[in-house]
Structure 1
Amino acid sequence: MSVKDRVTRIIADQAMMETAEVTPDKTLEDLGIDSLGLVESIFAIEEEFDIQVPFNANNPEESDFDISSVAAIVAAVESLVDQQSA
Structure 2
Amino acid sequence: MAGSVADKVIAIIAEQAVLEPEEVTPEATLEELGLDSLGLVEAIFAIEEQFDISVPFNANDPAQSEFDISNVRSMVTAVESLIAKKNA
User: Aligned match of 1:55 in 48, 54, 57?
Assistant: 57
Offset from partner CA, 1:1-60 (integer Å, 9 cap, x none): 100000000000000100000000000000000111101100000000000001327xx2
> Identity rate of aligned residues, in percent?
63
The aligned counterpart of 1:16 is: 18
TM-score, normalised on structure 2?
A: 0.90
The aligned counterpart of 2:67 is: 65
The aligned counterpart of 1:37 is: 39
Count of equivalent residues: 84
CA RMSD in angstroms, aligned pairs only:
1.1
The aligned counterpart of 2:82 is: 80
1:3 aligns with 2:8: no
Comparing 1-10 with 47-56, which one deviates more in the overlay? 47-56
Identify the structure with the greater helix proportion.
Answer: 1
Give the gaps of 5 or more residues in structure 1: none
Q: Which stretches of structure 1, 4 residues or longer, exceed 2 Å deviation after superposition? A: none
